[in-house]
Structure 1
């Protein structure tokens, strides 16, 4: 049967501090009207043709994934439930390790909908395999790379039946889960088509003025529509109270020319490809793509300060971004900031050429939801930040996100941490090939409290967990707190760095600012990287005004968990191994009070220092 723990009702009730944010948004046509659920594909209810639930290729969301059989194989889910009849988007998160499509016919409640291509993640796998850690299985690399395919369907209230039949000779794909989200089935009227203002989707014409004219002409509540085609343009300025409908097969693509990008006001950066300031009740959807066109060596130098950020908005309320692909940024990719009431759902984000290509960087947002998406980038994948000490981040929910690869962090709070970071949930995440899995770094004065990380899987990470109360050491605004952090149901395989995991406060001129009330439950790491032949000394304290990278501490005297300047750290059923053998202890405590290690029949030794 389906895992109904991920249903609509429990998304509303799961954690008390999220209820108000989830049900309290104003009644508008934007983020408030949105609801979503997802169902684990491995929990199919019937099948023919050799489909099976599998856990062979790690990581994945949930307890496994569906491995479809050969041509003609059919799989059925007869317990897809929604609260009321209407239009919904089905979001299939799938993997295809080949260079060909793996098409399937889709039926819903017995009605043929369409043939879904389930195309490959890439047709040049060597580009993506290059540079992965030496112990990664390159032959199977693509079975851990997921993408979303989307289709709008009619569903009835209550139970629905979804069926896929593989039609290609290679059979069907692997499917991790099926998202079900409320859909805007068509662009709301009145419609303003960009082609009516002179736009031509031929991949050559400069459509900058035509697109600007169409957006300006769109009345409140209406839609600006891009039909299939490639629309070359300079910067696009968004506005409030409209829908930008990028049809399936349509791409808004940037010119590779810095002179085509505007300088905007209102955002953290000044140069964007697509941006809006004070764009309340904005929706961007439709199934198409926004493409920054940063490929090859263009905009790939970290010293190039004129690189454009791809997509963002600021100082807004009730913004929805769903069912689009966000591709090839010159700098950070997707930067929603200072927005209250944000829904991001069903996106594929891919930005792999060059450096500093962050994925999604929410800055000073409240009541924000990021769900049912994939991220592939070269810097931090999901990276909440705060630049305003009076705003910060509150009620941020991130669920059902697969990070296919990044050269840096899978999830990172920071390093910009000026405002507080509170009352947030990160659940059902999968990271593969990341520098760090979970990084929580408060170094600019932010108070961090009441965060939950649950049901997270990682593979090939350098550092699984890196939590630091740097108490304003970078800005001099000392005294911040990091407390009440709950980490549960975490599974990690193949750690490739010797640092292990760390949980640290700070000692500033003899005054200790602890990290406290840290709870790890059902966390399993197989295996931490060993091979250190002698035990190093305790590392230096976090240096003042430095970047809080884990490497500033060097190799810790623990192969598993190094915990320093901490109060009330509780481990329950925290298991781990090391390979190869290592001279260090599994857990080292330095200036820690209230440590408990529960739930293990034979707990590994812990070294305690004053």
Structure 2
């Protein structure tokens, strides 16, 4: 029925009403999406003499049951044991907030996963854990302090068993960790195992209170970006591993400042699946301001190695690009090692054959205040390291060494470490069992006179020095 003009609505009015309705709906959706679950609403108290584990977990569970959202940690100090992140949940720590890990091991929940890797054969404990979760995040300006010094080392391989990880995420898709400060884990600070689409940005890591105090461990992960991290660790700092058949692949790490009493940038030691398409850019490596290491550390307080690339448990390393790095204070700046430790990730899956290393480029690197050991690129007889380019690299170290013979023991199956042979026969690079290695504009300067040659090469075909 047609309405009289006085009873009808103009098209412009209808359009305006529709737009207003959409805006209301939009704001309503935004408000719903922005709804948060504060841990204090579930009973968490800012008191480190009381345990708030249950309250934090209830907030996470309620957030997950509502379809996801944010669990917020207000300013204050809260003590927790093991908590479990769930899909579509963001744990946001407000400025001034700290989650403290309990120092009582009974407050940690042992968990198992069906993902088989070197370190998942037994139940493990961790402060914050997720398994097969999607779209999870830890964000904010607060701190998570594991107080890991409370857990003594009881055996050779007890990390994650009697000494908790601070973060451990397994088989997760869509992981974000940003802004927060992570401190004092019982072992590795953050272990991402077989995860995809991981974004780590703007975090601070201080891990100097126990054995195996790595800053970051990416293990068999795909599609990862790490940026703007400041890390000070007693053990390895930026660490890529492959403790299962799943390789580390398509990873970009950039704009980080790291200190380590062990290795600053390391691919290895575990290498079962290998590494492919790794880009590392814009890293500053410096000595830690804390030289009181009780756990690792080369004499004098500097790290063992700065750039350490290893294949020792099978696997293939290829398409590795590391550049724009400055290094101050390390004993053996560059260590590239192909060997045959052959440690399996599972007892029923032996490592068959030596792995491969090829297509590696290290470039635009400045190294200063290094120890006198020297750098090395070494493979095994019949298994050479191949196709490595080192370009625009300047090294200055203490020097002061006399002529040193080349090692006569290949140490085929030993744990790989840049200082494993002691002082090397070259003040620059010792090469053994290599093919197609190119040095282009690489200079080596020693503070004290050094009698060693800059390069010493054995069984190294097609060596090019420009």
Using the size of structure 1 for normalisation, the TM-score is: 0.64
Distance 1:412 1:539, change over 3 A: farther
Residue 58 of structure 2 corresponds to which residue in structure 1? 213
* Residue 265 of structure 1, CA deviation: 1.9
Unaligned runs of 5+ in 2: 1-29, 288-302, 345-350
Query: In structure 2, the residue corresponding to 1:541 is in which secondary structure?
Result: coil
Query: In structure 2, the residue corresponding to 1:437 is in which secondary structure?
Result: strand
* Residue 550 of structure 1, CA deviation: 2.7
Query: In structure 2, the residue corresponding to 1:281 is in which secondary structure?
Result: strand
Query: For 1:136-155, what aligned pairs fall within 5 Å after superposition?
Result: none
Distance 1:316 1:281 in 2: 8
Distance 1:471 1:543, change over 3 A: closer
Q: Is the 8 A contact 1:442 1:472 kept in 2?
A: no
Residue 273 of structure 1 corresponds to which residue in structure 2? 127
Please, which of 444, 449, 461 is the counterpart of residue 313 of structure 2?
A: 444
* Residue 473 of structure 1, CA deviation: 4.5
Distance 1:542 1:484 in 2: 24
Residue 151 of structure 1 corresponds to which residue in structure 2? none
Distance 2:125 2:391 in 1: 43
Please, which of 83, 106, 118 is the counterpart of residue 236 of structure 1?
A: 83
Q: Is the 8 A contact 2:103 2:147 kept in 1?
A: yes
Residue 344 of structure 1 corresponds to which residue in structure 2? 200
Please, which of 259, 270, 277 is the counterpart of residue 423 of structure 1?
A: 277
Distance 1:539 1:242 in 2: 56
Q: Is 1:526 the equivalent of 2:396?
A: yes
Query: For 1:89-108, what aligned pairs fall within 5 Å after superposition?
Result: none
Q: Is 1:478 the equivalent of 2:353?
A: yes
Q: Is the 8 A contact 2:388 2:437 kept in 1?
A: yes
Q: Is the 8 A contact 2:45 2:52 kept in 1?
A: yes
Distance 2:365 2:279 in 1: 14
Distance 2:140 2:364 in 1: 35
* Residue 311 of structure 1, CA deviation: 0.8
Residue 253 of structure 1 corresponds to which residue in structure 2? 100
Residue 24 of structure 2 corresponds to which residue in structure 1? none
* Residue 207 of structure 1, CA deviation: 0.5
Residue 330 of structure 2 corresponds to which residue in structure 1? 461
Distance 1:188 1:454, change over 3 A: farther
Q: Is the 8 A contact 2:285 2:326 kept in 1?
A: yes
Residue 136 of structure 1 corresponds to which residue in structure 2? none
* Residue 581 of structure 1, CA deviation: 1.7
* Residue 471 of structure 1, CA deviation: 4.7
Distance 2:76 2:157 in 1: 31
* Greater Cα offset, 310-319 or 286-295: 286-295
* Residue 552 of structure 1, CA deviation: 2.8
Distance 1:302 1:375, change over 3 A: farther
Residue 202 of structure 1 corresponds to which residue in structure 2? 47
* Greater Cα offset, 515-524 or 348-357: 348-357
Please, which of 268, 278, 293 is the counterpart of residue 147 of structure 2?
A: 293
Distance 1:549 1:431 in 2: 18
Please, which of 545, 565, 568 is the counterpart of residue 433 of structure 2?
A: 565
Distance 2:75 2:184 in 1: 19
Q: Is the 8 A contact 1:536 1:555 kept in 2?
A: no
1:40-98: per-residue Cα shift (whole Å, max 9, x none)? xxxxxxxxxxxxxxxxxxxxxxxxxxxxxxxxxxxxxxxxxxxxxxxxxxxxxxxxxxx
Query: In structure 1, the residue corresponding to 2:242 is in which secondary structure?
Result: coil
Work out the number of aligned pairs and report it.
404
Q: Is the 8 A contact 2:340 2:412 kept in 1?
A: no
Q: Is the 8 A contact 1:336 1:363 kept in 2?
A: yes
Query: In structure 2, the residue corresponding to 1:506 is in which secondary structure?
Result: coil
Distance 2:447 2:407 in 1: 22
1:168-227: per-residue Cα shift (whole Å, max 9, x none)? xxxxxxxxxxxxxxxxx9995331111111111223221011111111111223111111
Residue 90 of structure 1 corresponds to which residue in structure 2? none
Residue 505 of structure 1 corresponds to which residue in structure 2? 379
Residue 116 of structure 1 corresponds to which residue in structure 2? none
* Greater Cα offset, 268-277 or 549-558: 549-558
Distance 1:561 1:317, change over 3 A: same
Q: Is the 8 A contact 1:435 1:461 kept in 2?
A: yes
Query: For 1:357-368, what aligned pairs fall within 5 Å after superposition?
Result: 357-368=213-224
Distance 1:591 1:186, change over 3 A: farther
* Residue 303 of structure 1, CA deviation: 4.6
1:216-247: per-residue Cα shift (whole Å, max 9, x none)? 11122311111111110111111111111111
* Residue 304 of structure 1, CA deviation: 7.8
Q: Is the 8 A contact 2:339 2:354 kept in 1?
A: no
Residue 395 of structure 1 corresponds to which residue in structure 2? 250
1:410-451: per-residue Cα shift (whole Å, max 9, x none)? 011111100020011000001113220000010000100000
Higher radius of gyration, 1 or 2 = 2
Q: Is the 8 A contact 2:267 2:308 kept in 1?
A: yes
Q: Is the 8 A contact 1:539 1:553 kept in 2?
A: no
Q: Is 1:189 the equivalent of 2:34?
A: yes
Residue 262 of structure 2 corresponds to which residue in structure 1? 408
Distance 2:105 2:320 in 1: 40
Residue 296 of structure 2 corresponds to which residue in structure 1? none
Distance 2:454 2:42 in 1: 66
Residue 551 of structure 1 corresponds to which residue in structure 2? 419
Q: Is the 8 A contact 1:445 1:477 kept in 2?
A: yes
Q: Is the 8 A contact 2:85 2:130 kept in 1?
A: yes
Distance 1:505 1:187, change over 3 A: farther
Distance 1:457 1:377 in 2: 18
